[in-house]
Structure 1
């Protein structure tokens, strides 16, 4: 059984997609979708990293594009300058009320 949810993706293009989710009552992963496995260096025994092992209760690569979203025109994109455009000179010393 597929448990779908809607997500927004930005790669390779902005789109709304349907994606599969892990089975909530799975006994192998407890609804997490997989498990982290730590591994060490065979020579020193020190920590070397973590591997993600996905569970068989879901397919993390199963995705269906619902709606490709258009790109926003350049003049509508946000420009964060870090200052208040309504303040005199761009800065204000008045407390906000």
Structure 2
């Protein structure tokens, strides 16, 4: 049984997608979709990183595009016009005396 959910994605294009979710009553992952597995360096035994092992109760790359969304026209896009107060073109760094 597939448990579907609608999500927004912006890569490779803006779209609404339908995606699968982990089974909430899965005995192996407890509804989280997988497990983190820590591993160590072979020579020293020190911590070297963490791997994500997905659970077989769902497929994290199973998704379908529902609605491709158009790009916003250039005047409607957000612009960052507020200068950075700590940047070179920002406010003065003189103390307020």
TM-score by length of 2: 0.83
Following TM superposition, the consecutive aligned residue runs of length 4 or more in structure 1 with deviations greater than 3 angstroms are none
How far residue 66 of structure 1 moved from its aligned partner, in angstroms, is 0.1
Extract unaligned runs of 5+ from structure 2.
84-97
How far residue 82 of structure 1 moved from its aligned partner, in angstroms, is 2.2
* Separation (CA, whole Å) in 2 of partners of 1:81 and 1:75: 13
TM-score by length of 1: 0.83
Extract unaligned runs of 5+ from structure 1.
84-97
Q: What are the Cα deviations for residues 29-83 of structure 1, in whole angstroms up to 9, with x where unaligned? A: 0000000000000100000000000000000010000000000011100112226
* Separation (CA, whole Å) in 2 of partners of 1:13 and 1:6: 16
* Separation (CA, whole Å) in 2 of partners of 1:62 and 1:46: 36
